[in-house]
Copies of this chain bind each other. A is one copy, B any other.
Amino acid sequence: MSKFTIAIHGGAGTILKSMLTPELEINYNQGLQEALNAGYAILEQQGTSLDAVVEAVKVLENNELFNAGKGAVFTNEGLHEMDASIMDGSNLMAGAVAGVRNIKNPILLAKEVMLHSGHVILCGNGANEFAKTRQIETASDEYLFNQYRYDQWVDIRDSEFYQLDHKEDNLKSFLEKEKKFGTVGAVALDQHGHIAAATSTGGMTNKRYGRIGDSPIPGSGTYANDHTCAISCTGHGEFFIRAVVAYDVSCLMEYKGLTLKEACDIVVKDKLVKMGGEGGLIAIDRLGNYELSFNSEGMYRGVKTSDGYNQVSIYKD
């Protein structure tokens, strides 16, 4: 049997043990484990890394603890506008959607874009129209509604503030609260030796002006190439776009000969820090090496390998 591995994240940010109740911590760990198991089961049955990352992200999208799919934050207009992307390391195919509404699993739509649209990125109403042609499952506002997210939004909707993905340094009142903003993502290596990456997010609370972060941008929030690595990012999206984070890790490996760990360390703990870009990423290569790297207080994360290793974590080690 060839080695296989799946790694996931549920967002990075100012996540401190003091901010989570024991019960909430259990729920987060459980949610992460369920997503790992779902992706792992596909890999175990010799499924593709592409299907595994979709399945893991789908489970996280369906869990309202995470800011993607059910549980997505509210925009300034009181809506949910979601972004997702996927990339297949075996052929460099990619698909993404930005600012879609009332889609149950944006990652499934991103996969359809990759396979059936002839395009890579579809945006807004147009992406929703495409979803209809592919019979993608929709979700009502009621399904997507979450009281906690709603209260967050009501707190700031009349202000000029917006809530960045994983940080809220411009809104004092938020600093007292538990922060569970973010993005979800998965990377996997399958038994056929192929890797893939997927990312999904509800963006930031009270976002306006059709802001797009790094999550739906191949090269920035998501990247996969069998020859180097598969990456899914989470963090302050604007910095991740400017730093072309996911592809930067790949280039450091391909052009400079760095290992996955060396490349991730440089990008996450040096380059992003110097820019002021808070967040992290998960990464895997075709040898089964993996990294769960972040420069923030915490990152919801997990990894499960065919060697029998299984771990979910939230805080810094």
Confirm or deny: A211 has a beta carbon within 8 angstroms of a beta carbon on chain B: yes
Q: Which residue from chain B places its CB closest to the CB of A81 in the assembled complex?
A: B126
Confirm or deny: A41 has a beta carbon within 8 angstroms of a beta carbon on chain B: no
Given A126-B211, A129-B208, A255-B256, the answer on whether A241 and B121 have CB atoms closer than 8 Å is yes
Docked CA distance A254–B204 (Å): 33
A116: min CB distance to chain B, Å: 11
How many monomers of this chain does the complex have? 2
- Give the residues in chain B near A311, CB-CB below 8 Å: none
Given A119-B238, A120-B238, the answer on whether A98 and B212 have CB atoms closer than 8 Å is yes
A215: min CB distance to chain B, Å: 11
Interface contact A120-B248, CB-CB below 8 Å: no
Given A92-B275, A119-B238, A251-B251, the answer on whether A124 and B210 have CB atoms closer than 8 Å is yes
Interface contact B241-A219, CB-CB below 8 Å: yes
Docked CA distance A144–B61 (Å): 41
Within 8 A of B (CB), among A73-101: 87, 92-94, 98-99
Interface contact B219-A244, CB-CB below 8 Å: yes
Given A92-B275, A255-B251, the answer on whether A122 and B219 have CB atoms closer than 8 Å is no
Docked CA distance A316–B93 (Å): 30
**Size bracket of the A interface:** 35 or more
Confirm or deny: A106 has a beta carbon within 8 angstroms of a beta carbon on chain B: no
Q: Which residue from chain B places its CB closest to the CB of A83 in the assembled complex?
A: B123
Interface contact B121-A211, CB-CB below 8 Å: yes
Confirm or deny: A243 has a beta carbon within 8 angstroms of a beta carbon on chain B: yes
A232: min CB distance to chain B, Å: 16
Question: Mask for A116-145, Cβ within 8 A of B = 1, else 0?
Answer: 011111111111011000000000000000
Interface contact A94-B242, CB-CB below 8 Å: yes
The contact of A123 among B120, B124, B238, by CB within 8 Å, is: B124
Complex A-B: 20 CB contacts under 8 Å: A87-B242, A92-B242, A92-B243, A92-B275, A94-B241, A121-B211, A123-B212, A126-B208, A127-B210, A129-B209, A130-B209, A217-B217, A217-B219, A218-B241, A218-B242, A219-B219, A219-B244, A244-B247, A247-B247, A247-B251
Pairs of residues from A and B, 3 with the lowest C-beta to C-beta distance, nearest first: A126-B210, A251-B251, A255-B255
